A and B are shown apart, each in its own frame.
Chain A
Amino acid sequence: MTEPTTARVRFPTALRGGTGTVSVLLVLIFVVIATQNPSFFEGPPLMAFAKKAAPLVVLAIGQYLVIVSGEFDLSVGSLVGAQVVIAARLIDGDEAMTYPVIGLMLLFGLLVGLVNGLVTTLLRVPSIITTLGTMLILFGAVRYWTGGAPTGALSEGFRVFGRHGPDGVPVLGQIPWALVIAALLTVGAILLMRSPYGRSLMATGDNDTAAAFSGVRVWRVRTLAFVGSSLMATVAAILIGGFAGVTAQVGEGLEFTAITAVVLGGVVLGGGRGTVVAAVLGALTVEALFTLFNQLYLPSTIQPTAQGLIIIAAVAYVSRRGDPRPPTRPRRRPDPPNERQLDSSRR
């Protein structure tokens, strides 16, 4: 625990916590892609990649907020699906409905986040169970509402965000709005993590007792993280719906992809460690990996295997890399019976 660690201490902060690893991995993947398909870096294909990757980046930011506070959000995949279906059904091709419905979607995202957060913090249900429950509920409720398959259609105005962008930019061709939105949200999240709220969030993930003793309203901070995750999922839904329209399967399995992206960025499950940039890089790496598999003409069936191996290897590498702590959190003491621990839901 207190071994001399001079070597690590000299590392620039940015290279600790896995950001370095994921950057190297990302560059490596891009290099391999470049050897396979040199034209990949000629503007338009790169922008197409950005357009495809943007939703996952946004989702990863949301998932990052929750993971860094020490929790999980498994409901985002279902939420993305639900939001796209809601949008299609309510807009039903009517341009005038676009913005009201987007507003409604954001409200719905807010509500889902609140429920996830409050059930986890106030009712003390482990977040993996809470969000597993909301995942089932959203999946079922939306399908029940639409009779099993999505109905209606998205308006062109709605689809602009995920599909179009300002054209005629030199070299790049078109800069997708999705890229702009993802970049803005990334910057926003970086600023958020530097704000008092972000610092309180990080503190909560590191040691919620100490945070509470310092005046952090742990339950509120965590609940807001869930709200953030759900809102990000809503934005991702707008981007995905815009990108490809409505299909019945939209959103499926995205929660695991998002968690994978965040963890690949070196953000530690259990909270308190990792940066927004790392999570975003993780998301880009996952998308780049999919692209790479495709460029290599790897049979699509074998892709999960390669994906699984790379995730395990990357996480093992990060956790090996000079972290002297055991992987679990500091051990839980039997609470001395006359000193109750302060915990999140006391108030």
Chain B
Amino acid sequence: MTGAPLLRMTGIGKSFLGVRVLHGVDLDLHAGELHALVGENGAGKSTLMKVLAGVHRADTGRIELDGAEVSFEHPVRAQRAGVSTVFQEFNLLPERTVAQNVFLGRETRTRGVVDDRAMEGATAELLADLGLAGIAPWSKVRHLSVAEQQVVEIVKALSHDARVISMDEPTAALADHEVEVLYRIIARLRERGVGILYVSHRLKEIFDLADTITVLKDGHLVDTMAAADTRPAELVRKMVGRPVSSVFPDPLEPHGERVGEVRLSVSGAGNTRLDGIDLEVRGGEIVGLAGLQGSGRTEIAHGLFGVDRFTRGEVHVDGRRIDPRSPRRAVRAGLALVTEDRKSQGLLLDQSVLANARLVLDAVPPFGSGRRVRRIPGILSSLELVARGGHGQEVRFLSGGNQQKVVLAKWLATDPGVMILDEPTRGIDVGAKQAVYSLMRELAAAGVAILLISSELPELIGMSDRLVVLDDGRVAGELPGGSSEETVMALATGASVHREEAAP
């Protein structure tokens, strides 16, 4: 990479609520380069991208495009300047067509009227350029699969004649074979001289794709290096900043009555998105559910919890067969589910901490059981919840970590026998993460059976006693705790090989 950079960010700093999340980060991006931005959750990658996209304004630092300083007050300013962003959340209107979404806000006009044909044509061209002629520009977005929607997002970014595209975990929602498509798209973009800023947790992708890697940690720039000269282990060490093992607390001495008993067993369970799921979790055990996004981890949690019902197979909790037809039944059977989407599925944002924490007790008989309700303040303080307004504080004013503690308190209040944690540390800070880890250990020691779902492999490996690896809706295999990431990934992705072989 020689010559002047296409994009140069220097000394970018940003604070939220008085907490600094970026400390003077520098980053250069050249034309045709793929620059990977890595780091743990909360390291500041997304914030940096949002600063670049014009969603947030940096408190300090400057951004130069082609050597000229730019300032983006609004995402549209950034887009006009040729900096487009593919966010993690879809920014599409499901009721509008692909072409209408791609050109939203700057619809093509011919003689003063919006020209759908022209937009569709242009979209088709963009799609064809990427070798994706299969998506019809006139189909409504809600008819598309996740992967297709992801492609539409990229096309939308491209349609601005973008010279810089930043992508925030673009493969997060994609199945393995769909990732291939993304690889092809990225290759084309680079041929055209587009600079790509790429955020991902998946090391494989990073080493497959990146020219340069920048590591962020706790908002600080750790290092920027050429991918070719970097070894994965070295990268992980830089990301974590300390030996991996020390991050996760050690198991505690078990003291619960039910330790060792099978508390949750699933056999032959399936529905339209899962098949032949066999699973067993014992009291005191943490079982990790590994697998790529979309491999069926969350679906298992939802199946157990009666959100999406299993249509086949059996579920036993503490030896009793249960039919989880609704969350209510699951709760009564002693299950708890910490959902992955905290805000939309877990919290009542306008209600107080206390109202959230006692919600399940209020919703499921024995209603509002006084003894359990009285324990809630104790649970909240043992979780070290920080709320300036006390327990009457509305949850929406809390930080992500404290919000997650409220969700945990809500479930702890029910004294669950089996706890399912779906991405329990997503989007929360390091301190809160530690609290979650310690809590899991304590619960396990007390005899709770824990099923842990996480996209962060180190976390999954570090916390789990056993790992059940899923691939495309089925159990691909089981691994002992402490297995290497490579083994897990091989199992999680290996099934695609089988499938190809099995195909007629």
A and B touch in the complex (CB under 8 A): yes
* Interface mask (B410-439 → A, CB under 8 Å = 1, otherwise 0): 100000000000000000000000000000
Interface of A is mostly: loop
Stretch at the interface among B45-53, B60-68, B357-365: B357-365
- Asked whether any CB of chain A lies closer than 8 Å to the CB of B331, the reply is yes
Which residues from A are CB-within-8-Å of B404?
Answer: none
Known: A5-B397, A206-B350. A333 touches B344 (CB 8 A): yes
Say if the beta carbon of A166 comes within 8 Å of chain B: no
What distance in Å separates the Cβ of B119 from its nearest Cβ neighbour in chain A?
A: 20
Tell me which of B325, B349, B410 has the highest count of chain A C-beta atoms within 10 A of its own C-beta.
B349
| B246: min CB distance to chain A, Å | 32
20-60 of chain A: CB within 8 A of chain B = none
Contact with B along A316-340 (1 / 0, CB 8 A): 0000000000000010011111111
In the assembled complex, A102 has its CB within 8 A of some CB on chain B: no
Q: Does B355 contact A (CB under 8 A)?
A: yes
Chain A residue with the shortest CB-CB distance to B325: A347
Task: Give the one of A202, A213, A340 with max B CB within 10 A.
Answer: A213
Identify the closest chain B residue to A274 (Cβ): B350
0/1 string, A212-232, CB within 8 A of B gives 1: 111111000000000000000
Q: Across the interface, do A199 and B359 meet the contact criterion of CB distance under 8 Å?
A: yes
Chain B residue numbers with a CB within 8 Å of A273 are 350
* Residue ID in chain A nearest B358 by CB atoms: A199
User: What sequence of 0s and 1s flags, for each residue 61-92 of chain B, a beta carbon within 8 Å of any chain A beta carbon?
Assistant: 00000000000000000000000000001101
In the bound complex, what is the Cα–Cα distance between A337 and B355 (angstroms)? 31
Per the bound structure, the CA–CA distance linking A202 and B149 in Å amounts to 35
Contact A336 B351, beta carbon cutoff 8 Å:
no
Instruction: Choose from A195, A206, A214, A341 the contact partner of B368 (Cβ within 8 Å).
Output: A195
A90 contacts B by Cβ under 8 Å: no
Within the complex, which residue of A2, A9, A202 is in contact with B388, where a contact is CB–CB below 8 Å?
A9
Bound CA–CA A57/B112 (angstroms): 55
Interface size on A, residues (CB 8 A): 40
A213 touches B17 (CB 8 A): no
Is B410 within 8 A of A9, CB to CB? no
Q: List residues of chain B with CB within 8 A of the CB of A214.
A: 327, 331, 359-360, 363-364, 410
Q: B389 — which chain A residues lie within 8 A by C-beta? A: 9
Is B122 interfacial (CB-CB < 8 Å)? no
Shortest Cβ distance from B273 into A: residue = A338
Inter-chain contact A207/B347, CB cutoff 8 Å = yes
Instruction: Give min CB distance, A303 to chain B, whole Å.
Output: 34
**B367 cross-chain contacts in A, Cβ below 8 A:** 195-197
Q: Judge if B141 is at the interface, Cβ distance under 8 Å.
A: yes
On whether A196 and B362 interact (CB within 8 A), knowing A217-B328, A334-B94, A342-B307, the answer reads yes
> Nearest-CB distance from A94 to chain B (Å)?
42
B343 on the A face (CB < 8 A): yes
Residue among A211, A336, A342 making CB contact with B348, cutoff 8 Å: A211
A75 lies within 8 A of chain B by Cβ: no
CB-CB under 8 A for A334 and B92, given A215-B360, A272-B350? yes
Contacts of A13 in B (CB 8 A): 392
A291 at the interface (CB under 8 A from B): no
- A345-B307 Cα distance, complex, nearest whole Å: 12
Closest to A213 in B: B345
On whether the beta carbons of B344 and A211 are closer than 8 Å, the reply is no
Q: Are B17 and A203 within 8 A (Cβ)?
A: no
Closest residue of A by beta carbon distance from B366: A196
Cα–Cα distance between A347 and B324 once the two chains are bound (Å)? 12
**In the bound complex, how far is the Cα of B388 from the Cα of A342, in angstroms?**
32
The interface of chain B, by Cβ under 8 A from chain A, is 16-18, 89-90, 92-94, 141-142, 144-146, 149, 173, 273, 294, 298-299, 302, 305, 307-308, 325-328, 330-332, 337, 339, 343-351, 355, 358-364, 367-368, 388-389, 392-393, 396-397, 410
28 sampled A-B residue pairs with Cβ under 8 A:
A9-B388, A9-B393, A196-B362, A197-B367, A199-B355, A199-B368, A207-B347, A210-B346, A210-B347, A210-B359, A213-B345, A214-B360, A215-B327, A215-B328, A216-B328, A272-B348, A272-B350, A272-B351, A333-B89, A334-B141, A334-B142, A335-B94, A337-B146, A337-B149, A338-B173, A338-B273, A342-B345, A347-B326
Pairs A-B, 9 closest by C-beta atoms: A196-B367, A196-B362, A206-B348, A196-B368, A216-B363, A215-B364, A199-B362, A334-B94, A215-B328
Given contact pairs A207-B344, A214-B327, enumerate 4 new A-B contacts (beta carbons under 8 Å): A4-B18, A200-B363, A330-B343, A337-B144
